[in-house]
Amino acid sequence: MQQTPAHSPGRGRDSFIDVIRALCVLAVISQHWLMPVLSYENGHLSTGNALASPGWWIVTWLTQVMPMVFFAGGAANFFSFRSAKSMRTWLRARIARLLVPVIPLAAVWLLLPHALIAAGVPRQPVLLAGGIAGQLLWFLAVYVLVVALTPVMFRWYRRYGWRVIGVLAVCALAVDVLRFEVSPAIGFLNALFVWLAAHQFGFHYADGSLRLRSGWASAGVAAVGFGITAAAVFFGPYPPSMIGMPGAPVSNMSPPTALMLSLTIGQLGLWLTLKPVITRCAERPRVTAVLQWCGTRFMTLYLWHMPALVMTAGITILGLGFTTPKPGSPMWFAVAPLWVGISGMFLVTFTRIFGRFEIRRPSGAASTAGSASDMGLGKVVLAAVLSAGGLLGLAAQGFISPGNPLAPVLWVLLVLAGLLVVREKNAPKAVAPQGPRTVPVQLAVRQEDARVLSRQATG
């Protein structure tokens, strides 16, 4: 295979992974801002979903980018974990960096809904906003657990290779059968099986074993992935939309179904087909600057884009009496850029205010050359479990719960407890972004990984 610039040994980052991460965050933000169909009357905010319009489900096959988010995370985690001298230090650093940006979000949203209600804002829209602000924390909860499992998955990858993804796929299919035949609650097991498999694809990319000989080969992979997805929708029990739809009896995302694995293959093949174009574009100075800016603020952008939407909706829908035009109409397309622009201004403002919490080195994020002898692995696992539990609670109940006012506080305390467990005193204040490294050209990494594992076993 001919080397692309992203494979150049002299480069310190993999621009392909950088672009995937940036575009995925942009896709998540754009979709969430454009989906709502809102109207307000007599103190009640009605909501709908523009993607529920007839035929619009096909858009979600591209805009549902969570498979690529976990893929890119897997590649980045593989690069950094392989160069880590201590598994415990690596886990502490990763978990802390994920949790720190949540604290200012929680500090604002534990108080803001109550302040708005006290100021006379109608209760129903405020409750809805408090739920939306915490809803997307499900991703962070799952990703914390995936990060905590990375050392185990790394060892299994080195030992079993592609068989790991095969086993995870079989588990995901078995869970789907039990979900449809026994109990829908069983489906939540796929939050780990499905996303661990997508994460594992990132390992294969980072190690060089996912390299394809030509663009035609990767296009063929895309065709196979999307073809399996289409067949499962047409002949199986799966809905066509890759996001949850209002009133739909089954969602492919909440919790994820095994269909997300075939979607992962389709999207991955598509991205690999476009890789030469993407890497050339990423070499441009302006693009590089944007990627560097986003790279240190990904979590802030993700956490605060829904509060930015809440601000836009509060001013335009509640304050000015605006109603979302019919999705797909000329007026909807005319208003969409203005709607996104206003939300974007709020997000930029929030990022400038709260982004500093992410670009500062989180506690525990010492250099990968540092020591973790002051903390056992059990404490790191405890931190992951505590924080994931708190994040899932906030995702389910939001930052305000009329039936149990103390519940959001307790969930935040769990997250804070997890962060304090991995906290390290006297950490440096700032850190350059630890982006993904380049994909190896020579496949001599297996000997290197063996040495890394031996070091980590004694770390």
pTM for the whole structure: 0.87
For the chain, the C-alpha Rg in angstroms (whole number) is 22
Whether 99 and 303 have beta carbons less than 8 Å apart is answered as: no
Name the pLDDT band for 360 (thresholds 50, 70, 90).
low
Q: What would the pLDDT profile of 285-330 be if each residue is shown by its tens digit? A: 888 888 888 888 899 999 999 999 999 999 999 999 999 999 999 9
Residue 182: C-alpha distances to residues 190, 235, 358 (Å): 15, 20, 43
Half-sphere exposure at residue 104, Cβ-oriented, CA atoms within 13 angstroms: 17
What is the pLDDT at residue 424? 61
Percentage of residues in the chain having pLDDT higher than 70? 86
Given a cut of 70, whether residue 453 has pLDDT beyond it is no
What is the pLDDT at residue 357? 87
Backbone angles phi, psi at 11, to 5 degrees: -90, 150
What is the pLDDT at residue 261? 97
Task: At 87, list the tokens.
Answer: 């598994």
| Helical residues (DSSP H) of 119-183, grouped into ranges | 123-135, 137-160, 162-181
Whether 346 and 308 have beta carbons less than 8 Å apart is answered as: yes
What is the pLDDT at residue 323? 95
Q: What would the pLDDT profile of 58-101 be if each residue is shown by its tens digit? A: 999 999 999 999 999 999 999 999 888 888 889 988 999 999 99
What is the pLDDT at residue 157? 95
Given a cut of 90, whether residue 346 has pLDDT beyond it is yes
What is the pLDDT at residue 210? 83
What is the pLDDT at residue 451? 52
What is the pLDDT at residue 11? 44
Q: Where are the beta strands (DSSP E) in 247-400?
A: none
Across the chain, mean pLDDT equals: 86
What is the pLDDT at residue 209? 84
Number of helical H runs and strand E runs in the chain: 20, 2
| Paired strand residues for 117 | none
Q: What would the pLDDT profile of 12-44 be if each residue is shown by its tens digit? A: 578 899 999 999 999 999 999 999 999 999 889
Name the pLDDT band for 445 (thresholds 50, 70, 90).
very low
Instruction: Quote the CA–CA distance of 109 and 177 in Å, as a whole number.
Output: 39
Task: At 64, list the tokens.
Answer: 């549902």
407 membership: H or E segment, kind and range: helix 407-421
Instruction: Quote the CA–CA distance of 73 and 398 in Å, as a whole number.
Output: 26
Whether 144 and 389 have beta carbons less than 8 Å apart is answered as: no
What is the pLDDT at residue 427? 43
Name the pLDDT band for 405 (thresholds 50, 70, 90).
confident
What is the pLDDT at residue 361? 53
